[in-house]
Structure 1
């Protein structure tokens, strides 16, 4: 399992290693995939693994979460199959169309 190997290379918790492995898998399918994270350790590990990573600072109140992202990162594709056309359908059925 690649997630276990990621834990050997980086000081990641199990869930973070699984998220990183998923992002690396998606990058293989969709090269413009980016990982957004609040976690500094996951951010550093993802950068070392060659992913495009956006460190999202926490926001307070009802502020627009996109307002805290740099302009270039507002359109980053995190999970392409959830946010648009996909080879097997038109996005995730739980998301509004």
Structure 2
């Protein structure tokens, strides 16, 4: 789902192996919400199964720097943006990341 007026994109991957859509890929079941801003990107990720998965997320975009991220998000690479999101103990709640785009 995408709203061009607000810059929001929502993606839900129910396949256990994850999936890909328009430059974003995940390796497990995941719910992703992204908001494009003037100079950056806000991303929220959660495990819709509430089963404490680790989700690897890759976005085919180069990132200048990460401004803020929740404790369970590990930044593997800035170009392309690659994340390891540990949803353990989150009970389906979103984990958030804000970056400046390159």
Q: TM-score range by the shorter chain?
A: under 0.3
Q: Which has the larger helix fraction?
A: 1
Q: Please state which structure has a larger fraction of its residues in strand.
A: 2
Normalising by structure 1, report the TM-score. 0.25
Q: Please identify the structure whose Cα radius of gyration is greater.
A: 1
TM-score by length of 2: 0.25
Quick one: higher RCO (CA 8 Å, sep 6+), 1 or 2? 2
